[in-house]
Amino acid sequence: MDADARIVVLLSGQGSNLSALLRARTEGRLSASIVAVGSDRSAAPGLRHADAAEIPTFVCRPRDHGSRAHWNRALASQLAAFAPDLVVLAGLMRIVSQEVLDAASGRVINVHPSLLPSFPGLRAPEQALRAGVAISGCTVHWVDSGVDTGPILAQSAVPVLPEDSATSLHQRIQAEEHWLLPAVVERVLRGPLPAAGTRPSAATPLRALAEPIPAPPSRSP
Ligand code: GRF
């Protein structure tokens, strides 16, 4: 994939991961362009980061589309209009259908705040605290039609501290997301990408790619 690769980011919330991708682009750690940012919520604060960076935004709200199937169809067509090479779900709080995955040629990745396959779905940091685990972290994975079930590309672990609340644990996890996601996006776009129209499989984890992910600057010797 060349430096003109096109990324579309989908989000529902604060957009700190979008900010991390934008920062990586500014600092030369991400060669691809973010060509659009979409959301299922017109009030999603993350959309403002896109506005500030003069990136086109679009909103596809479930309430405007009657059924889940219709919403997915509308999202698929909005995505397809931007001809993305890769779609990044950066806090999109909805499950997308196969139709949406197809509109992105199956090239959709997600960042999730747990070490999958543990704690998929909503409120992962809270699930981790309740389970009493000593280590949690984040996962970047290919998206399939399940809930946080697609092949894992990369993970980063953090300790769970005795005094943690769901918020403090989530913040520690997000600090990892902010270096891991841009690094994975860059490596994924350097390929080999799954062929358009095929579903990524367990044969395409990041460790199979040519270059390993560098450690974050704070951990370099
Ligand atoms: C992140 O923690 C991500 O793992 C989860 O949603 C959160 C989005 O945060 N899927 P932000 O909107 O990027 O700040």
Q: How many whole angstroms from 178 Cα to the centroid of ligand 1?
A: 10
Work out which ligand 1 atom sits closest to the CA atom of 170: 2
Q: Order of strands, edge to edge, in the sheet holding 6-11?
A: 57-59, 33-39, 6-11, 86-89, 108-112, 135-142, 152-159
Work out which ligand 1 atom sits closest to the CA atom of 90: 13
Of 49, 65, 70, 112, the catalytic one is 112
pLDDT at 188: 86
Report yes or no: 80 and 103 within 8 Å, Cβ to Cβ: yes
d(CA 76, CA 97): 9
Residue partners of 109: CB distance under 8 A and separation at least 6 = 86, 87, 88, 89, 140, 141, 142, 143, 153, 184, 185, 188
**Nearest residue (CA) to ligand 1, atom 1:** 91
d(CA 131, CA 18): 29
d(CA 190, CA 60): 30
Q: How many whole angstroms from 55 Cα to the centroid of ligand 1?
A: 19
pLDDT at 193: 53
Give the closest residue to 60 by CA, choosing from 68, 50, 52: 68
Tens digits of residue pLDDT in 146-184 = 999 988 888 989 999 999 999 999 999 999 999 999 999
**Nearest residue (CA) to ligand 1, atom 10:** 91
d(CA 209, CA 12): 30
pLDDT at 213: 54
Residue partners of 18: CB distance under 8 A and separation at least 6 = 9, 11, 34, 37, 46, 49, 50, 90
Work out which ligand 1 atom sits closest to the CA atom of 16: 14
pLDDT at 36 over 50: yes
